[in-house]
């Protein structure tokens, strides 16, 4: 499936050994001290072309692999406010230039001064940038295989597993509303994991879904009538060999298309809503990476809620009161706040798993709110429950995300957020949302976690409880798709790389 594959090239590969057909150098200033041949080529070119070091350029380089030397400048990375995305983006542009020039076997060399902790993972991030640049949607028929030779000693097996997960995340997030409708999304997962050591279950029975995922099924209610749009819950479980030291439980929002439902998105706000499945897509991608790497000591259970939020005669409407899987009576405030309904039932099932699990941690990953986009621009917002906050889990994720080019902003859950979702009458325990676009409401990306805690029963696992459970909610509404074109641009596969690095550090 992966179009890009990483390799460790032989030492003399840059001079044409092994069939490589381009050398791509990512650098700030192209000093290339350890590589005098390249350094000389760059100096000659710079004497006749002032673009060298300022924009991506291709040099004719007889004697080098394929005769092509591509220079991808990062710009000034010494500035205090820069981060490793400079390297990611330079590699992305350089790989695209190499590909367009005809190269299909590209040697990647990163030339950076050492010692800056911000750039600790720069060699790996550069490789992932190449993968991002070369990725094509799966419906594009011509998908040439591209080999990338990594010349900085990167861990090739780890990067190939990461790239396979990122390809799956991008495929699933980017597919159009029919290509990746809930049953098609589930089918993709079945083939994605067919050869992997995971247990995969697809819940497709309407009665079972309505019984066990009542809030999720309310969102899907009018879509059940159309077989190819009917809801699915995909559960993927990875069990390591040997002893388990920690358990991760991840809920992914997979709203395959969001019309807003009865609270219809109007005024042109509906386009791009096929990307409302980015959380489930990233979760599936992360599970693919895990399945390929088979880490020891950690057990991971993911539940993906795949639903089309459609408008029709059987659509759920505001004011309805629906009892969640965990037993909370939820009054619907606005049908366009459907993601939290999908997640709440998934989280309730994962809560039951967590109660039996070794050292559990819960995550939800979702393109949840317009508010996080307004508040944080292109960044992921992470909201911690009290237990995660005490353990500084958000900070850990922020530090790791920074190093992997997937930056994260930390938000604080507060009492106002619980007041926001409190029931307004004796008939309900919770109000799912206020009635307006989250983008216009203060604390619009924080208070959904208060709802998720209450509606899933995870609020019973606070610091003073018998079993405190840390829970991080990731709102990736701004981060799931490249910022340059949020409606139709490439999915980013965030935060798959961060989750993997976090798993390895915990």
Q: Considering the complex, what minimum distance in angstroms separates the CB of residue 257 from Zn ion? A: 10
Polymer length of the chain = 506
Site for Zn ion in 256-295 (CB under 5 A): 258
Q: Nearer Cβ to Zn ion, position 171 or 336?
A: 336
Is residue 415 annotated as part of the catalytic site, yes or no? no
CB nearer to Zn ion: give 258 or 417. 258
Q: In which element (H, E) is residue 347 found?
A: helix 339-355
Catalytic annotation, pick one of 96, 104, 118, 265: 265
Q: Which is nearer to Zn ion, 338 or 417 (CB)?
A: 338
Binding part of the chain for Zn ion, among 88-96, 214-222, 328-336, 368-376 by CB under 5 A, reads: 328-336
- Shortest distance (Å) from residue 255 CB to Zn ion: 7
DSSP 477: T
E strand or H helix at 471, and its extent?
strand 471-475
Q: With contact defined as beta carbons under 8 Å apart, do 193 and 287 qualify?
A: yes
Based on the shown chain and the rule CB under 5 A, indicate whether residue 475 belongs to the binding site for Zn ion. no
Site mask, Zn ion, residues 239-258, x = CB under 5 A? -------------------x
| Beta carbon nearer to Zn ion, 258 or 303 | 258
Closest residue to Zn ion using C-beta atoms: 336
Strand order in the sheet with 232-238: 198-203, 232-238, 298-309, 246-258, 360-366, 471-475, 380-384, 408-412
- Which alpha helices (DSSP H) does 264-338 contain, by range? 278-293
Is there a catalytic annotation at residue 454? Answer: no
15-44 residues near Zn ion, rule: CB under 5 A? none
Yes or no: say if 287 and 302 are a contact pair by the CB < 8 Å rule: yes
Question: 340, 351, 361, 389: which is the annotated catalytic residue?
Answer: 340
Nearest approach in angstroms of CB 376 to Zn ion is: 19
Task: Determine the Cα–Cα distance for residues 131 and 164; give it in Å rounded to an integer.
Answer: 10
CB under 5 A: which stretch of 79-87, 245-253, 330-338, 393-401 binds Zn ion? Answer: 330-338
To Zn ion, the closest distance from the beta carbon of 96 in angstroms equals 33
Q: Can you tell me which of 21, 336, 406, 417 binds Zn ion, judged by CB under 5 A?
A: 336
Ordered DSSP codes for 383-439: EE-HHHHHTTHHHHHHHHHHHTT--EEEEE--HHHHHHHB-SSTT-SEE---SS-GG
User: Residue 336 Cβ, how far from Zn ion at the closest point, in Å?
Assistant: 4
What binding mask, one character per residue, do residues 337-356 give for Zn ion by CB under 5 A, x or -?
Answer: -x------------------
Asked, as a colleague might, if the bond just before 464 is cis with ω within 30 of 0, I would say no
331: phi then psi, degrees, rounded to nearest 5: -90, 130
- Region of 120-128, 320-328, 331-339, 370-378 interacting with Zn ion (CB under 5 A): 331-339
**What is the 3 state secondary structure string of 119-183?**
HCCHHHHHHHHHHHHHCCCCCCCCCCCEEEEECCCCCHHHHHHHHHHHHHHHHHHHCCCCCCCHH
Residue closer to Zn ion (CB basis): 146 or 477: 477
Catalytically active residues, by annotation? 265, 340
- The binding site for Zn ion (CB under 5 A) comprises 258, 336, 338
């Amino acid at each position: 499936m992966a179009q890009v594959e990483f390799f460790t090239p032989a030492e003399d590969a840059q001079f044409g050994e092994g069939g490589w057909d381009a050398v791509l150098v990512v650098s700030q200033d192209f000093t290339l001290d350890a590589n005098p041949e390249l350094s000389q080529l760059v100096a000659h070119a710079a004497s006749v072309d002032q673009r060298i070091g300022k924009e991506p350029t291709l040099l004719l380089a007889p004697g080098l692999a394929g005769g092509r030397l591509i220079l991808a400048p990062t710009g000034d990375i010494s500035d205090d406010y820069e981060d490793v995305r400079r390297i990611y983006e330079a590699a992305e542009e350089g790989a695209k230039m190499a590909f367009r020039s005809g190269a299909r076997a590209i040697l990647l060399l990163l030339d950076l001064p050492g010692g800056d902790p911000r750039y600790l993972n720069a060699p790996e991030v550069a490789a992932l940038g190449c993968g991002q640049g070369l990725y094509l949607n799966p419906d594009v028929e011509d998908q040439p295989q591209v080999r990338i030779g990594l010349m900085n000693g990167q861990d090739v097996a780890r990067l190939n597993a990461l790239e396979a997960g990122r390809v799956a995340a991008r495929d699933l997030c980017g597919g159009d509303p029919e290509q990746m409708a809930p049953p098609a999304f589930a089918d993709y997962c079945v083939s994605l994991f067919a050869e992997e050591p995971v247990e995969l279950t697809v819940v497709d029975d309407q009665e079972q879904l309505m019984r066990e995922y009542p809030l999720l099924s309310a969102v899907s209610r009018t879509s059940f009538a159309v077989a190819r749009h009917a809801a699915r819950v995909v559960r993927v479980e990875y069990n390591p060999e040997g002893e388990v030291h920690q358990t991760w439980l991840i809920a992914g929002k997979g709203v395959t298309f969001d019309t807003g439902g009865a609270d219809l998105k109007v005024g042109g706000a509906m386009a791009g809503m096929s990307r409302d499945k980015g959380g489930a897509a990233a979760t599936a991608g992360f599970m693919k990476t895990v399945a390929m790497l088979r880490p020891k000591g950690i057990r991971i259970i993911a539940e993906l809620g795949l639903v089309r939020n459609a408008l029709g005669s059987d659509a759920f409407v505001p004011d309805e009161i629906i009892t969640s899987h965990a037993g909370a009576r939820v009054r619907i405030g606005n049908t366009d706040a459907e993601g939290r309904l999908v997640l709440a039932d998934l989280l309730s099932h994962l809560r039951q798993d967590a109660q039996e699990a070794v050292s559990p941690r819960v995550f939800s990953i979702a393109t949840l709110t317009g508010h996080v986009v307004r508040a944080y621009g292109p960044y992921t917002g992470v909201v911690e429950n009290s237990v995660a906050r005490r353990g500084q889990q958000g900070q850990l994720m922020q530090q790791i995300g920074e190093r992997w080019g997937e930056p994260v902003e930390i938000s604080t859950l507060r009492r106002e957020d619980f007041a926001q979702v409190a029931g307004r009458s004796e008939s309900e325990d919770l109000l799912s949302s206020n009635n307006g676009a989250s983008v216009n409401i203060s604390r619009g990306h924080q208070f959904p976690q208060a709802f998720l805690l209450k509606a899933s029963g995870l609020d019973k696992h606070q610091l003073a409880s018998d079993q405190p459970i840390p829970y991080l909610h990731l709102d990736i509404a701004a981060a799931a798709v490249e910022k340059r074109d949020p409606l139709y641009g490439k999915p980013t596969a965030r935060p798959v790389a961060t989750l993997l690095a976090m798993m390895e550090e915990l």
